[in-house]
């Protein structure tokens, strides 16, 4: 220890004889005292201590200006950190003992002092003072720590009686330390195991063992003094004495209500969709897999329903995402209301929902639920003062029949959902294995399509349009033909949707347009003039940015009059993106290009909008023409559709005319033109050129051939 050398000693002694005696002892060889200052009163001592540091003070208790305890106290006040050894007379030992209690480190009795004893006393005093200081710092640190930490700390003795509580423990338990001290730990800190609500007893006896220490059961509950329960996390450790004997325990615990709540929240948000609060894909997959396992065990069935909203993008685009979000929330609420508590609705993202129905007796039960959901979704959603109408398409897969895991079942339900969309939306469809075959087929078509252009596998057929009054060929529709090297001819109804999906429709459409314009111009140059050549344009083409430039470039390159080109657009395309379509159509019309509404009557046209778009032609869909002979009593609809076109002052063309009866009816209703197998099938360019030269036979014009035409039948309108 440092006290080997005592650099500065202060001797406070008024008796000069005693002082000399002591000084002599210090001067002996081997003494550790290198410097000693002698003063004769406490006043002098105080002045010295104020000016200089000393290592130890030797204090006589009978000074002229201070005696006994008064001297001890003044010396300590002047140098609180300096060790103090007092000198007393033989008869003063009780005084000396008192001095020790006041904080002096040791005492020496005058007249019995030997050099060795003196020096040892001084050294010990210094050492003891250093230890006392360290102990004080240590205690203070522990005290401050216990006061400041956020954890509750309580200590008990061996019997489990409380010996200490910090402030946090007071707050958590509801007991003040004054009340709690000496009480049984189990009375003040009632801790239960959260799993079985069994009390955790005296920390000295609990299973984890006071000798080992460590955490208590992973989830515990503290029952507060008022009975309120708080989830806590806690640990217990034994307290040992110097011999290693256990004397008590420290229990540390903390309120984890917030942490637990947050953990629950994190688990919840990892498994739920933030927008609707519904389970997400992860949780659904889990539940589907569990449900499949149960169905196998109980030999019953279940279903996975894949829902995709029809035209949701339109709501998002036109009314904004906040409205779209509210629609999704509204739909989520309705779907939940359609189901049993044991079923699961999840949102997969976007406008897709997946529903799990477990424990079905028969697949038909899923159909009933699907119908309920179709109905629930389609009822108006009142959102931000908009009355919004939306429908959904649903695909259903049944387990275990259609799959044994979530991934397959959802994929198959998704496939069935596509079929439902194709069948005209707002409907449901059960999965059939053939649908997968179709998907494979589609894939193979897509691959072949990619090479079809460069391999020259495309060709155009032409089908004439006949003026029903004069019998003349007024124009033709160009229809795309694809001859697959292995499959042979593939119908456009089969490959056009695939081309649309995979982005090939643009180069293909471009080729069709160029070829049709080139051919028409070539016929014209050969003296075979057509009023119009009609080319079908799909929605995807129309929406492509380069569409207009493409059309104009082709007209310029082929040299065809713009007014000889008629573009056929289906009704649904025209009605869907009203504003952007209007701009494009306007640009086409300004050039003189004509426009026809294809498949008229199958969509939902707004008549006022049709008028505004100023299209030239309405092509009445085949399905109406078919009704003329198939369901004669419903011909009023056909008549109405024709009438509608005439009211809008448009040229009306009937598609798919196959029989003379259909022709007669159309003529009688004043339909302007017709197209169909009755006159000619779509044919290759050479036979079509011949047709242009010879015209369709007069007989083909049926009962109202021009020479037989009565004056009153059809009012002639300019075309």
Q: What's the residue count for the chain?
A: 719
Long-range contacts of 269-274 (CB under 8 A, 24+ apart): 273/346, 273/347, 273/349
User: Is the backbone of residue 517 left (phi > 0), alpha (psi -120 to 50) or beta?
Assistant: alpha
Q: What is the largest CA-CA distance in the chain?
A: 166
Note the helical H segments in 220-280: 257-271
Q: Select 181 or 548, whichever has its Cβ closest to ligand C2E.
A: 548
Does position 656 bind ligand C2E by CB under 6 A? yes
Question: Residue 474 binds which entry of Mg ion, ligand C2E, none, with Cβ cut-offs from 5 to 8 Å by kind?
Answer: none
Tell me the closest approach of the beta carbon of residue 563 to Mg ion, in angstroms: 19
Cα(110)–Cα(114) distance, integer angstroms: 10
Stretch of 110-118, 435-443, 489-497, 627-635 contacting ligand C2E, by CB under 6 A: 489-497
Cα(564)–Cα(570) distance, integer angstroms: 19
Q: Select 272 or 442, whichever has its Cβ closest to ligand C2E.
A: 442
Is the bond preceding residue 400 a cis peptide, omega within 30 degrees?
A: yes
Stretch of 85-93, 305-313, 453-461, 567-575 contacting Mg ion, by CB under 5 A: 567-575
Tell me the closest approach of the beta carbon of residue 619 to Mg ion, in angstroms: 6
The vertex-305 CA angle with 301 and 309, nearest 5°, equals 170
Token pair of 695, please? 């015209």
Tell me the closest approach of the beta carbon of residue 512 to ligand C2E, in angstroms: 4
Tell me the closest approach of the beta carbon of residue 334 to ligand C2E, in angstroms: 36
Judged by CB under 6 A, the number of residues near ligand C2E is: 24
Does position 571 bind Mg ion by CB under 5 A? no
Taking a C-beta distance cutoff of 8 angstroms, is the pair 410, 398 a contact?
Answer: no
User: Is the backbone of residue 115 left (phi > 0), alpha (psi -120 to 50) or beta?
Assistant: alpha
Cα(361)–Cα(521) distance, integer angstroms: 66
Does position 639 bind ligand C2E by CB under 6 A? no
Cα(123)–Cα(113) distance, integer angstroms: 15
Does position 601 bind ligand C2E by CB under 6 A? no
Of residues 94 through 133, those in contact with ligand C2E by CB under 6 A are none
Tell me the closest approach of the beta carbon of residue 580 to Mg ion, in angstroms: 22
Does position 682 bind ligand C2E by CB under 6 A? yes
Does position 598 bind ligand C2E by CB under 6 A? yes
Beta-carbon-side half-sphere exposure of residue 482 (alpha carbons within 13 Å):
25
Question: Residue 645 binds which entry of ligand C2E, Mg ion, none, with Cβ cut-offs from 5 to 8 Å by kind?
Answer: none
CA distances from 401 to 294, 392, 393 (A): 14, 25, 22
Binding characters for ligand C2E, 603-622, by CB under 6 A (x = yes): -------------------x
Stretch of 310-318, 656-664, 696-704, 705-713 contacting ligand C2E, by CB under 6 A: 656-664
The one among 316, 463, 467, 558 contacting ligand C2E by CB under 6 A: 463
Cα(114)–Cα(388) distance, integer angstroms: 109
Does position 673 bind Mg ion by CB under 5 A? no
Tell me the closest approach of the beta carbon of residue 360 to ligand C2E, in angstroms: 40
Cα(496)–Cα(455) distance, integer angstroms: 18
Percent helix / strand / coil, the chain, rounded to 5 = 45, 25, 30
Which residue in 14, 40, 41, 9 sits closest to 25, CA to CA?
A: 9
* Cα radius of gyration (the chain): 51
> Burial of 55 by CB count in 10 Å (0-12 exposed, 13-18 middle, 19+ buried)?
buried
Question: In whole angstroms, what separates CA 653 from the centre of its chain?
Answer: 52
The one among 598, 662, 672, 673 contacting Mg ion by CB under 5 A: 598
Tell me the closest approach of the beta carbon of residue 309 to Mg ion, in angstroms: 28
Does position 536 bind Mg ion by CB under 5 A? yes
Question: Residue 409 binds which entry of Mg ion, ligand C2E, none, with Cβ cut-offs from 5 to 8 Å by kind?
Answer: none
Question: Residue 493 binds which entry of ligand C2E, Mg ion, none, with Cβ cut-offs from 5 to 8 Å by kind?
Answer: ligand C2E
Tell me the closest approach of the beta carbon of residue 599 to Mg ion, in angstroms: 4
The one among 255, 402, 541, 568 contacting Mg ion by CB under 5 A: 568
Question: Residue 617 binds which entry of Mg ion, ligand C2E, none, with Cβ cut-offs from 5 to 8 Å by kind?
Answer: none
The one among 106, 351, 599, 662 contacting Mg ion by CB under 5 A: 599
Tell me the closest approach of the beta carbon of residue 477 to Mg ion, in angstroms: 6
The one among 342, 591, 637, 677 contacting ligand C2E by CB under 6 A: 677
The one among 96, 480, 564, 565 contacting ligand C2E by CB under 6 A: 480
Tell me the closest approach of the beta carbon of residue 568 to ligand C2E, in angstroms: 6
> Burial of 331 by CB count in 10 Å (0-12 exposed, 13-18 middle, 19+ buried)?
buried
23 contact partners, CB below 8 Å, separation of at least 6: 11, 36, 38
Does position 541 bind Mg ion by CB under 5 A? no
Tell me the closest approach of the beta carbon of residue 536 to ligand C2E, in angstroms: 4
CA distances from 219 to 230, 255, 374 (A): 11, 11, 46
Token pair of 395, please? 């695909």
Q: Select 107 or 462, whichever has its Cβ closest to Mg ion.
A: 462
Q: Select 429 or 622, whichever has its Cβ closest to ligand C2E.
A: 622
User: Is the backbone of residue 599 left (phi > 0), alpha (psi -120 to 50) or beta?
Assistant: left
Beta-carbon-side half-sphere exposure of residue 635 (alpha carbons within 13 Å):
13
Question: Residue 639 binds which entry of Mg ion, ligand C2E, none, with Cβ cut-offs from 5 to 8 Å by kind?
Answer: none
Torsion on CA atoms 305, 308, 310, 316, rounded to nearest 10 = 150
The one among 170, 310, 414, 599 contacting ligand C2E by CB under 6 A: 599
The one among 658, 689, 696, 713 contacting ligand C2E by CB under 6 A: 658
Stretch of 281-289, 396-404, 406-414, 651-659 contacting ligand C2E, by CB under 6 A: 651-659
**Site residues (CB under 5 A) for Mg ion?**
536, 568, 598-599, 655
**Site residues (CB under 6 A) for ligand C2E?**
463, 479-480, 491-493, 496, 509, 512, 536-538, 568, 598-599, 622, 655-658, 675-677, 682
């Amino acid at each position: 220890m440092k006290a080997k050398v005592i650099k500065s000693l202060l001797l406070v002694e008024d008796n000069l004889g005693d002082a000399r005696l002591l000084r002599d002892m210090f001067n002996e060889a081997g003494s550790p005292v290198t410097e000693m200052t002698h003063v004769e009163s406490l006043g002098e001592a105080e002045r010295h201590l104020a000016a200089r540091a000393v290592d130890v003070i030797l204090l006589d208790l009978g000074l002229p200006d201070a005696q006994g305890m008064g001297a001890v106290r003044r010396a300590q006040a002047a140098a609180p950190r300096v060790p103090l050894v007092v000198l007393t007379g033989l008869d003063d030992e009780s005084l000396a003992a008192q001095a020790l209690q006041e904080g002096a480190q040791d005492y020496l009795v005058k007249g019995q002092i030997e050099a060795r004893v003196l020096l040892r006393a001084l050294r010990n005093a210094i050492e003891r003072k250093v230890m006392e200081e360290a102990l004080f710092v240590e205690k203070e640190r522990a005290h401050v720590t216990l006061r400041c930490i956020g954890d509750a700390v309580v200590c008990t003795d061996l019997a489990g009686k409380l010996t200490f509580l910090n402030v946090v423990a007071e707050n958590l338990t509801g007991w003040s330390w004054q009340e709690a001290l000496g009480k049984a730990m189990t009375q003040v800190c009632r801790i239960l195991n959260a799993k079985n609500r069994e009390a955790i007893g005296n920390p000295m006896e609990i299973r984890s063992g006071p000798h080992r220490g460590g955490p208590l059961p992973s989830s515990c509950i503290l029952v507060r003094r008022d009975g309120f329960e708080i989830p806590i996390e806690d640990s217990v450790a034994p307290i040992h004495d110097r011999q290693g004997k256990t004397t008590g325990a420290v229990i540390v615990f903390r309120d984890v209500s917030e942490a637990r709540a947050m953990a629950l929240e994190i688990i919840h948000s990892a498994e739920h969709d933030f927008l609707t609060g519904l389970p997400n894909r992860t949780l659904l997959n889990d539940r589907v897999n569990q449900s499949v396992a149960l169905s196998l065990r109980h030999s019953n069935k279940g279903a996975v329903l894949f829902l995709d909203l029809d035209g949701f993008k339109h709501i998002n685009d036109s009314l904004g995402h906040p409205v779209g979000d509210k629609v999704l929330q509204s739909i989520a609420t309705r779907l939940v209301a359609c189901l049993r508590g044991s079923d699961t609705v999840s949102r997969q993202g976007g406008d897709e929902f997946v529903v799990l129905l477990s424990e079905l007796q028969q697949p038909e039960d899923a159909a009933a639920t699907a119908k309920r959901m179709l109905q629930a979704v389609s009822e108006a959603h009142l959102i931000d003062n908009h009355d919004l109408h939306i429908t959904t398409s649903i695909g259903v897969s049944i387990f275990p029949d259609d799959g044994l895991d979530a991934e397959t079942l959802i994929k198959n339900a998704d496939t069935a959902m596509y079929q439902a969309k194709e069948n005209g939306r707002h409907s449901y469809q059960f999965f059939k294995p053939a649908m997968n075959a179709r998907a494979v087929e589609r894939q193979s078509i897509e691959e072949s399509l990619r090479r079809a252009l460069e391999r020259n596998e495309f060709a155009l057929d032409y089908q004439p349009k006949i003026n029903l009054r004069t019998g003349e060929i007024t124009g033709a529709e160009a229809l795309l033909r694809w001859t697959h090297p292995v499959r042979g001819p593939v119908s456009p109804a089969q490959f056009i949707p695939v081309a649309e999906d995979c982005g090939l429709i643009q180069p293909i459409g471009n080729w069709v347009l160029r070829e049709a314009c080139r051919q028409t111009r070539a016929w014209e140059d050969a003296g075979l003039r057509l009023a119009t050549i009609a080319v079908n344009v799909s929605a995807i083409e129309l929406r492509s940015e380069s569409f207009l430039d493409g059309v104009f470039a082709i007209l310029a390159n082929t040299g065809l009059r713009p007014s000889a080109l008629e573009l056929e657009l289906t009704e649904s395309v025209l009605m869907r993106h009203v504003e952007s379509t209007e701009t494009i159509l306007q640009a086409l019309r300004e050039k003189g290009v004509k426009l026809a509404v294809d498949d008229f009557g199958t969509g939902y046209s707004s008549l006022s909008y049709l008028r505004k778009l100023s299209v030239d032609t309405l092509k009445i869909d085949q399905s109406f023409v078919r009704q003329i002979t198939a369901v004669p009593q419903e011909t009023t609809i056909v008549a109405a559709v024709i009438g509608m076109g005439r009211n809008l002052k448009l040229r009306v063309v009937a598609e798919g005319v196959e029989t003379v009866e259909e022709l007669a009816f159309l003529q009688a209703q004043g339909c302007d033109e017709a197209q169909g197998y009755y006159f000619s099938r779509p044919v290759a360019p050479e036979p079509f050129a011949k047709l242009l030269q010879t015209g369709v036979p007069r007989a083909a014009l049926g009962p109202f051939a021009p020479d037989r035409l009565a004056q009153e039948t059809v009012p002639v309108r300019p075309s």
